[in-house]
Amino acid sequence: MEGSIVSNIHRRRAPQVLTTARDTGRHLRQPPPDMADASAPARQVAITLARKKWLILGFALCGGALAGLIGLTRPPLYSASTQIIVDPAGSSAPSGSGTAPQDALDSTIDSHLTMLISDAHLRHVLDALRKGGTEPAATTADASPPSPSFLGHWVEALRSARSSVGHFLRGILPGGASSPPSPEAATASAYAALKAGLRVGQELRSRIITISFIAPDPEYAARVANTVVGVYVEELAKRSLASRKQALAAIEDILPVAQRQLASAADQLEAYRLTHGSGDPAGTDSRGQEITQLGRQISLINADLAETTKRINTTEALRSAGAPVPKQAAAIGSPSLMDLAAGKAAGTGSNGASAGNATAVPNPTDQIEQAIAHLNEQASIDRTQLALLAQRRDALKAAADDAAGRQSGLRALELQVDVASRRYNDLLTRQQELTQQIESPAPGIAVWSEARPPTKPTTMSPAFLIPPGMVVFGIIGAMFTILRRKTDRALRSEAEVEAALGVPCVGLLPKIARPQAQRLSRMLLTEPKSIYTRALRSLLISLASPDAGLRLPNVLLITSSDRQEGKTTLAWSIALTAARLGERVLFLDLDQKGGGLTREFRDAFSRSPASATFADFLQGTCALADAVEEMPSIGIDFIPAPDAACDLLPLMASADAAKLMDPLRHAYTVVIIDGPSGRDGPEATLVTGWADAILYAVRWGVTPRSLARNVLDRIGGNHPFDDRTPPVVSVLIQVSLKQHAGFRFGDSGDLLLAGPR
pLDDT exceeds 80 at position 462: no
Per-residue confidence (pLDDT) for residue 224, from 0 to 100: 92
Instruction: Annotate 355-382 with DSSP letters as a single string.
Output: TTTSPPPPPHHHHHHHHHHHHHHHHHHH
Confidence band of 212 (pLDDT split at 50, 70, 90): very high
DSSP 647: -
Per-residue confidence (pLDDT) for residue 88, from 0 to 100: 77
Per-residue confidence (pLDDT) for residue 200, from 0 to 100: 92
- Interstrand relation of 445-449 and 728-735 (parallel, antiparallel or unpaired): unpaired
Higher pLDDT pick, 25 / 563: 563
Per-residue confidence (pLDDT) for residue 356, from 0 to 100: 45
pLDDT exceeds 70 at position 640: yes
Contact (Cβ atoms closer than 8 angstroms) between residue 86 and residue 105: yes
Per-residue confidence (pLDDT) for residue 295, from 0 to 100: 84
Compute the distance between CA of residue 411 and CA of residue 409 in angstroms, rounded to an integer: 5
Contact (Cβ atoms closer than 8 angstroms) between residue 6 and residue 586: no
pLDDT exceeds 70 at position 721: no
Per-residue confidence (pLDDT) for residue 158, from 0 to 100: 57
pLDDT exceeds 60 at position 201: yes
Average pLDDT over residues 684-704: 83
Confidence band of 750 (pLDDT split at 50, 70, 90): low
Per-residue confidence (pLDDT) for residue 108, from 0 to 100: 87
For residue 695, the SS3 value is strand
Q: What is the pLDDT of residues 410-457, one digit of tens each?
A: 788 888 889 989 988 998 888 888 888 777 777 778 888 888 999 888
Average pLDDT over residues 28-37: 43
Per-residue confidence (pLDDT) for residue 717, from 0 to 100: 56
pLDDT exceeds 90 at position 210: yes
Mean pLDDT of the chain: 76
pLDDT exceeds 80 at position 38: no
Per-residue confidence (pLDDT) for residue 82, from 0 to 100: 92
Confidence band of 213 (pLDDT split at 50, 70, 90): very high
Compute the distance between CA of residue 711 and CA of residue 196 in angstroms, rounded to an integer: 65
Confidence band of 724 (pLDDT split at 50, 70, 90): low
Q: What is the pLDDT of residues 181-196, one digit of tens each?
A: 677 888 888 888 888 8
Q: Check if 58-169+184-245+445-462 and 491-754 are the same fold.
A: no
pLDDT exceeds 50 at position 95: no
pLDDT exceeds 90 at position 23: no
Q: Please report, for the chain, the start and end positions of each structural domain, with discontinuous segments joined by +.
A: 58-169+184-245+445-462, 281-349+362-439, 491-754
pLDDT exceeds 50 at position 354: no
Average pLDDT over residues 109-127: 89
Phi, psi of 508 (to 5 degrees): -145, 150
For residue 490, the SS3 value is strand
Confidence band of 35 (pLDDT split at 50, 70, 90): very low
Range of lowest pLDDT (5-19, 473-487, 723-737): 5-19
Give the residue from 486, 352, 469, 345 showing the smallest Cα distance to 37. 486
Range of lowest pLDDT (347-351, 563-567, 640-644, 744-748): 347-351
Higher pLDDT pick, 38 / 242: 242
Percent of the chain with pLDDT over 70: 75
Give Cα 509 to chain centroid, integer Å.
52
Confidence band of 8 (pLDDT split at 50, 70, 90): very low
Q: Is 243 exposed, middle or buried (0-12, 13-18, 19+ CB in 10 A)?
A: exposed
Is the CATH code 3.30.1460 the one for domain 58-169+184-245+445-462?
A: no
Confidence band of 466 (pLDDT split at 50, 70, 90): confident
Give the sheet arrangement for strand 636-639, strand by strand.
505-510, 728-735, 693-699, 555-560, 670-674, 585-589, 636-639, 629-631
Give the residue from 469, 437, 512 showing the smallest Cα distance to 700. 512
Q: Which of 209-213, 279-283, 648-652, 660-664 holds the top average pLDDT?
A: 209-213
Per-residue confidence (pLDDT) for residue 268, from 0 to 100: 83
Q: What is the pLDDT of residues 651-673, one digit of tens each?
A: 666 656 667 778 888 889 899 98
Contact (Cβ atoms closer than 8 angstroms) between residue 235 and residue 124: yes
Would you give the end-to-end CA distance of the chain in angstroms?
Answer: 29
Average pLDDT over residues 555-584: 87
Higher pLDDT pick, 80 / 627: 80
Give the residue from 219, 220, 231, 229 showing the smallest Cα distance to 127. 231
Compute the distance between CA of residue 283 and CA of residue 291 in angstroms, rounded to an integer: 12
Confidence band of 587 (pLDDT split at 50, 70, 90): very high
pLDDT exceeds 50 at position 636: yes
DSSP 696: E
pLDDT exceeds 70 at position 613: yes
Q: Give the DSSP H or E segment for 732.
A: strand 728-735
pLDDT exceeds 80 at position 36: no
Confidence band of 757 (pLDDT split at 50, 70, 90): low
Percent of the chain with pLDDT over 90: 5
**What does pTM read for this prediction?**
0.53
Compute the distance between CA of residue 461 and CA of residue 72 in angstroms, rounded to an integer: 8
491-754: CATH topology = Rossmann fold (3.40.50)
For residue 412, the SS3 value is helix
Higher pLDDT pick, 476 / 717: 476
